[in-house]
Amino acid sequence: MRQSGSLRCLFPRKYGDSGEAVLINTAGGITGGDLFTISATAGENSALTLTTQAAERAYRSNQSDAGRMETRLRAAGGARLNWLPQETILFEGCHFERRLRVDLAPGASALVVEPLVFGRVEMGEALEDIRFRDRIDIRRNGRPLFLDAMRISGNARAMLFLPHTAAGARALATLIFVAREAEGLLEPLRGMLPETGGASLVRRDVLVLRMLATDSLALRKHLIPILDLLTGQKLPKCWTL
């Protein structure tokens, strides 16, 4: 393991055959000009879960350069990889770019979730000038399984209130589950979603779920039971502290 700067990785004491790593940004957030990189590999027939100690924060940037978070994950044959960061909160004036690349070997499985919050509702925050770019790229043996990109520039509050975007929702979760049992979990997961969520199979073993909510609390109310189901009741403890 190698770590530097303000990004740290801790390993909670656990019992069993799976590893868990908790990422901590000791700077407290990300702003213009920052660069954070994460790289992790789940070895053959292993199980690895990565999460964050708390919500990440993308703060106001006074620079033209974006704050960037780049994550590269790999899972060898027979491995199970869980990427389960807590929410990323966007603040007014932020300039933030995020990239996630997951490479799976044949026989590997993965659970990926990215919760996103557009300002804190209870604090009265309104995002009227932000720049945000996001990309998720999941591949098996070099071939794309899931590609998704988002770009928001300008008045996010006005965009989110449009009926064909979020109809006023301020929190979003994107979840991808790649496993042989994905097809059999589609209907149970649909039964756990609110009216503002949907799930579908893009392949027999690739399930994609997206959910909108009024705020982060409402998002967690539905997301945590789903993650409990997909992790076999092994969701990292920091999600519920």
| Domain boundaries along the sequence of the chain | 7-239
Q: What region does 227 belong to: left with phi over 0, alpha with psi -120 to 50, or beta?
A: alpha
Q: Which residue has the higher pLDDT, 57 or 5?
A: 57
Confidence category of residue 4, pLDDT binned at 50, 70, 90: confident
Residue 186 has pLDDT above 90, yes or no: yes
Confidence category of residue 53, pLDDT binned at 50, 70, 90: very high
**240 Cβ neighbours under 8 A, 6+ residues apart:** 224
Burial class (CB in 10 A: 0-12, 13-18, 19+), 88: buried
Residue 15 has pLDDT above 70, yes or no: no
33-46: average pLDDT? 96
Q: What is the pLDDT of residues 119-134, one digit of tens each?
A: 988 788 889 999 999 9
The candidate with the shortest Cα–Cα distance to 226, out of 36, 24, 213, is 213
The whole-number pLDDT of residue 126 equals 87
Q: Which two tokens stand for residue 62?
A: 């006074």
Mean of the per-residue pLDDT values of the chain: 94
206-230: average pLDDT? 97
Q: Which two tokens stand for residue 128?
A: 């009227």
